[in-house]
Amino acid sequence: MTGPQVPYVTADQMREVDRLAVEEFGITLLQMMENAGRALARLARERFLAGDARGRRVLVLAGPGGNGGGGLVCARNLHNWGADVRVLATEPPEEMGDVPRHQRGILEAAGVPVAVAPQAEALPEADLIVDALIGYSLRGAPSETTAALVRSANRHRAPTLALDVPTGLDATTGEAAGEAIRADATLTLALPKEGLRAAAAAEYVGELYLADISIPPELYARPGLSIALGPLFATDDIVRLG
């Protein structure tokens, strides 16, 4: 499957997709997060860990919202598959959304180290960094805590895999208002975001993949979206777009 066959959406359209999924189709945030995080873990294992997660060091950078929650699900799956996983969160548990906090609790019960990111910008050694700080919802520049993690990730020798949109990138325009992750690959969700194919985004996105998070094609056809969509994931639940 190639990029031109797949429709791209703005951040506002993606918000409508999420709204319809929850309010009209009864798909919970927890379900979508589980699908996103497992797909992210699978791509991490296959693309960056040579197909075997055992003993590989993975550092997950997690924000307080849905993107961070997807990263936490990814961390759990990689831990289950034998990876040595550490998580740096930008916020303490009480400042996270309910569903991401739930995911964090599962990780902590499993003994996976989850720490609030320190002000110091040095990150530990890793074979892979997973960027799950901020997704398509970003407006303007990230906070200084997030920006410090972005700078550290960009200086790190490990490759970086971004979830949905590289942190710091505007999902609609592809522009960076401040610090932005320079990813080696990006796994975007449901449908790719317009900003990911903008010229300004080329230095940040890396290889672009699309993951199925189980949104029915009928949802995209609803008024307000009116997107005709066939079975994008007929042969695989992750497809490469660029």
Q: What is the 3-state secondary structure (H, E, C) of 72-133?
A: HHHHHHHHHCCCEEEEEECCCHHHCCHHHHHHHHHHHHCCCCEEECCCCCCCCCCCEEEEEC
For 12-101, strand residue ranges (E) read 57-62, 84-89
Residue 145 pLDDT class (50, 70, 90 cuts): confident
- Domain extent at residue 48: 3-240
CATH of the domain at 165: 3.40.50.10260
Question: What is the three-class DSSP state of 182?
Answer: coil
**Banded pLDDT at 175 (limits 50, 70, 90):** very high
User: Facing residues of 239 across strands?
Assistant: 210
For the chain, what is the domain count?
1
The model's pLDDT over 155-171, given as tens digits with 9 standing for 90+, comes to 999 999 999 999 999 99
